[in-house]
């Protein structure tokens, strides 16, 4: 996923997974800075930023802050209203765009996120329920660097969310325990529940679902992934990789701030 001498940017939400990941990388001696993305979700964003900054301060680590309201003129709840879609949709695309930009602008070799097994299995479940074949082809623990994209890695995919929480408790890391209030009742959380019910009846089912996907299905999707990569051009406004003339983030900004 990454070499010891490489510069790593860790996406920090202030939650258990991202702080555990940052802690592990720092303990292992990686040159790992953090980046916190301010989403403008009221008290939740304020509290999560405090947790991120507090951890960075304790470790003497560098935390970059990208604040969407200050830098781009809208908050995630505004985006949800403007797009008439669930907030997680605008949030996800903003995160992908801005975290990648932060990694490139900062000259980092790799962008690391704290996605755990529960996250990845639930995303996979959602992609499978609707057979988003292009998304399936991209759902890899390591996405290599390509034109306009930093390398992206998910080092915690073998850990369940209870394990990263336990790690933080054991290490005394003070993370934000609350879930994002905008995510309540969303599909991703429902899919997590569904997978947990399946796991309760068939222990190991969740890991099998995700890891057998990596082993057996992803190789079959190599052609799809290559075809998708060939379609990626450049956003005429911001220069980010995009399969359309104007990338999804620039379209979102235009729509929300119109």
Decide: 165 and 171 in contact? Cβ < 8 Å.
no
Least Å distance, CB 136 to a second copy, is: 8
Instruction: Give the separation between CA 180 and CA 96, rounded to whole angstroms.
Output: 17
Say whether 31 sits in a helix, a strand or coil: strand
Nearer to a second copy, 207 or 246 (CB): 207
Least Å distance, CB 77 to a second copy, is: 23
Residue of 138, 140, 158, 187 that binds a second copy (CB under 8 A): 187
**For a second copy, which stretch binds (CB under 8 A), given 17-25, 45-53, 216-224, 237-245?**
216-224
Query: Using the rule CB under 8 A, is 238 a contact of a second copy?
Result: no
Least Å distance, CB 225 to a second copy, is: 11
Mask: binding to a second copy, 191-210, rule CB under 8 A, as x and -?
Answer: ---x--xx--xx--x--xx-
Sorted by sequence, the CB contacts under 8 Å of residue 252 that are 6+ apart come out as 79, 83, 90, 93, 94
Q: Report residue 6 as tokens.
A: 């490489």
The DSSP 8-state label assigned to residue 138 in this structure reads H
Query: Using the rule CB under 8 A, is 86 a contact of a second copy?
Result: no
Residue of 61, 93, 189, 224 that binds a second copy (CB under 8 A): 224
Backbone φ and ψ for 203, nearest 5 degrees, come out as: -55, 135
Decide: 33 and 7 in contact? Cβ < 8 Å.
yes
- Edge-to-edge strand list for the sheet holding 63-67: 63-67, 31-38, 7-12, 110-112, 151-153, 142-143
Query: Using the rule CB under 8 A, is 183 a contact of a second copy?
Result: no
Mask: binding to a second copy, 4-43, rule CB under 8 A, as x and -?
Answer: ----------------------------------------
Nearer to a second copy, 23 or 199 (CB): 199
Query: Using the rule CB under 8 A, is 44 a contact of a second copy?
Result: no
Q: Report residue 200 as tokens.
A: 């309760």
* Element spanning 7, H or E: strand 7-12
Contacts with a second copy, residue ranges (CB under 8 A): 128-133, 187, 190, 194, 197-198, 201-202, 205, 208-209, 212-213, 215-217, 220-221, 223-224
């Amino acid at each position: 996923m990454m070499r010891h001498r490489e510069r790593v940017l860790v996406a920090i939400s202030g939650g258990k997974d991202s702080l555990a990941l940052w802690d592990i990388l720092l303990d292992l001696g990686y040159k790992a800075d953090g980046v916190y993305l301010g989403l403008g979700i009221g008290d939740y964003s304020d509290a999560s930023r405090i947790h991120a900054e507090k951890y960075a301060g304790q470790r003497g680590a560098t935390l970059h802050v990208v604040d969407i309201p200050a830098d781009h003129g809208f908050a995630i709840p505004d985006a949800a209203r403007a797009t008439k879609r669930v907030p997680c949709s605008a949030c996800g695309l903003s995160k992908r765009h801005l975290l990648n930009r932060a990694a490139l602008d900062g000259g980092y070799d790799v962008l690391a996120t704290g996605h755990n097994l529960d996250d990845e299995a639930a995303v996979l479940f959602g992609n499978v329920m609707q057979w988003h074949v292009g998304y399936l082809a991209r759902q890899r623990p390591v996405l290599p660097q390509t034109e306009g994209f930093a390398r992206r890695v998910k080092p915690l995919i073998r850990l369940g969310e209870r394990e990263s929480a336990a790690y933080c408790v054991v290490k005394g890391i003070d993370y934000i325990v609350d879930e994002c209030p905008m995510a309540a009742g969303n599909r991703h959380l429902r899919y997590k529940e569904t997978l947990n019910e399946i796991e309760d009846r068939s222990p190991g089912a969740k890991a099998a679902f995700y890891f057998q996907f990596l082993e057996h299905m992803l190789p079959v999707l190599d052609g799809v992934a290559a075809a998708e990569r060939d379609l990626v051009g450049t956003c005429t406004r911001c220069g980010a990789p995009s399969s359309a003339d104007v990338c999804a983030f620039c379209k979102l900004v235009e729509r929300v701030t119109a």
